[in-house]
Structure 1
């Protein structure tokens, strides 16, 4: 990564330090905490419930009920059982019930990790969507980015924005503006992206050489394929494609500026030079500086043409960071109250839905138990009937046994065909051989 000149970065950081765009009311804390007044959540014994659900999955059922996981997650108020929540969420994702995960579970998982400041674990879960299946909605993404921006954690705020880009969901105005501001703050104040690469160090190699060789079953090797979307791993490319996505339907100056930066970070050099040549409107000064720094870092084949095109751009007198911040303020002022009312209604509806869903789940379980009991009774009656009326049906059983023996004999004959000693193979002749 790279950075802007010190003067520009200092003013940008100072302006946004310790700032929260969303009000305290946006967190809907009072309505969210009302869930704990439900008798269903009050009587949860976390240790017993975790043991029961975990054993249910490990032993035979291989599935966990969505409502059970939801009750466990929503009943947590501290970090004591976060490891157990992590484990149950992962096991539920592996079960056949994965698609039935309740929306309230997503909120419970994200909010409890956020409230207990387990940010590293939360980001790991959100990144591993395949194995955990936790997908924050617009409201949760807004909470996450706002909190990270307030703490000057621009890296994680930008990761949330990149996750939204991968999901291709930027319909919410507050989410879109916060994502733009998060990416801009990150590229103007870059830090280590924090992703761990699968690289074997020299110390690991030495330790591996000392151990005995073992055989490990590995998956099939597949032809390399890069989809340009979900396969993106590098910070520059993720930020770049996010900025390109956010440039659509944006203010002309902001849209053009972040599209230029996004194409540069995304290494789309041909598209970038075509866009720069046709660009007539002004861009922010950060656009030129970041663009030139990107060209200098990657040194593409058309670097000379790109440098010339960047130097010819018209510059706006404002700042990209300040304009992105103003965009967040405008979207929050216009949409915050409406989203607060909607989220409060959703939380209240979940409090009614959860007990009803649990009752439906218990009814289904009772029904399945009754059906299993009926099937067992029918089987026992059939066995008793065979014993009581065996001699009356003896001839019938003999016929069944005889037919069974015939079928078994035919199978054996097909598997072990007898050799025909009279068989004479055809004569093999050379090409051109003529029969006399």
Structure 2
């Protein structure tokens, strides 16, 4: 039995069976590459679901985390710590919001945004506390807490976990008419949306969907909440996906195409994959509705998280990762379209920046996409299917043009074997 087999068997015996990973066991990463326990090298084309935008073990992040971990790791929020205020200031200025509330995971940040929205709805908008309603979209993926899966349309995420949390209305994604109709309800207090639906298969809405949705919310006195846990931090070719097609040469708030949410949710790449960090940003009229003792987290805003998040955003700016994602994304989709034009196996490529997906010409309940991903791994590239017949491609944003074209060759070679 190989070491890979032994470690997979160990996890299978003693760990919960809530994931179905590809049969590789990784133990080292550097930039766009990872190595398994047998020493085989792979391109990482998933980036821990866009948490490792800055590449594996980025030296600036490793150094920052190591230094702070040797100094002070946790105080809880019972006391002030020397790093949190610096983080708060950096984040507020970087994203142009009055306040930031730090948490750990993306799901915690989403929960925080929902609580903020309800607090604002009750205390500022004046909606009955028993009646406030938040609109969401079908095929969403905002996390796995009981509240969040209550408005999921994915049976794997939802079934068997009832009773479900009320107070949500689900409408079709990328449907302004449906949103307009839902906003007629005076009890609606918020609309939460992913600017691009990643888990649903990289569903990119119409170019005017996000800005028009935000304006409709403003006109109805409803909070527009952008969940950028996966799409944020340069993944789609701009600092935030709600930036539209801006150049990112300036901060988002200065871009003509920037759609400013009332509440912004960040996570994943906010730490470069080094340490769990998430955050919710909003202005004072929203954020200050939560008062001392009404919400919190033992680890939220700890010194290590604060330092690592600042360093992660510095890397994004210093290394022009948004610009690189935009350039390589256009190149990747062009190459995938070339393959599609000469093959019946793949029917579509879609995406933005370096968040892309291809649709396999088979049914969602088939094993074709899974088998392709297994063969891709054998050929030195790691990706994962979603929704059965869709393969998501999201490499670290530090990838070079030469590396990208090498990956295109691996994908083309693998698809030709099917």
TM-score (normalizing by structure 1): 0.25
Give the structure with the larger strand fraction: 2
More helix per residue: 1
**Larger of the two Rg values belongs to structure:** 1
